């Protein structure tokens, strides 16, 4: 088995106001800096073999502080990237709330896709493939993976056998840690992934 500590990046200055997505316009906030310090303190006690990160700056900054405490390098991997929101990237949530397509996206994650973006199903396939690869690369090891709310939700929806449309039932706060155990199962098996805590 492999233990994966899925970490959502720390809070940024546009949190709750702008759909930052794959843009790198948001610096870590003052509260986020404190979250990073707490994460580094907590994870310094874990027997971590590797620290991976989404390519986004907010994730890399979070991962860098954790890796420094563990005396490890950060492995940047596109599989941990935020969902691609396409044309919605950088828009305010106030603007998005006026758009019927945004409402459909938040009601039908199983069928809707952001304009010129990535579907929730494609995101789920991406993150599950990465977790399978991680299990093969780090058997009986612990890995920290710093990502974003939607990739972490996609993994948890799969692990708990919940439909994609129930995404909002899963809270993934900035600076949070979710512990997953990747067990030896076939790549088609839903139960290769076990949630220990969120």
What digits encode the pLDDT tens for the residues 30-64? 999 999 999 999 999 999 999 999 999 999 999 99
Cite the active site residues.
9, 82
**Domain positions in the chain:** 2-197
Q: Which helix (H) or strand (E) holds 177?
A: strand 177-182
- CA dist 90 and 114 (Å) reads 13
pTM passes above 0.85: yes
Neighbours of 25 (CB within 10 A): 14
Contacts of 40 (CB under 8 A, 6+ apart): 65, 66, 68, 69
Contacts of 15 (CB under 8 A, 6+ apart): 26, 29, 32, 174
Summary mean pLDDT of the chain: 93
- CA dist 167 and 47 (Å) reads 31
What digits encode the pLDDT tens for the residues 136-157? 999 999 999 999 999 999 999 9
Q: Which helix (H) or strand (E) holds 123?
A: helix 120-137
Q: Determine the length of the chain.
A: 198
Among candidates 100, 98, 51, which has minimal Cα distance to 76?
Answer: 51
CATH number of 2-197, picked from 3.40.50.1240, 3.40.920.10, 2.40.110.20, 3.30.450.40:
3.40.50.1240
**Quick check: helix, strand or coil at residue 26?**
coil
């Amino acid at each position: 088995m492999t233990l994966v500590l899925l970490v959502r990046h720390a809070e940024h200055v546009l949190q709750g106001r702008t759909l930052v997505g794959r843009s790198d316009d948001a610096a870590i906030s003052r509260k986020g800096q404190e979250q990073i310090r707490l994460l580094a303190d907590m994870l310094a006690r874990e027997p971590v073999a590797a620290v991976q990160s989404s390519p986004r700056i907010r994730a890399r900054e979070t991962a860098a502080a954790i890796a420094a405490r563990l005396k490890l390098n950060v492995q940047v991997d596109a599989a941990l990237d935020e969902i691609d929101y396409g044309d919605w990237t950088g828009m305010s949530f106030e603007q998005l709330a006026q758009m019927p397509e945004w409402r459909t996206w938040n009601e039908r994650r199983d069928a809707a896709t952001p304009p010129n973006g990535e579907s929730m199903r494609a995101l789920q396939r991406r993150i599950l493939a990465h977790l399978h690869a991680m299990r093969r690369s780090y058997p009986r090891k612990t890995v920290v993976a710093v990502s974003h709310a939607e990739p972490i939700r996609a993994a948890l929806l799969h692990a708990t056998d919940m439909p994609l449309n129930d995404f909002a039932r899963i809270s993934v706060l900035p600076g949070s840690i979710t512990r997953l155990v990747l067990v030896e199962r076939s790549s088609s098996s839903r139960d290769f992934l076990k949630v220990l805590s969120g």
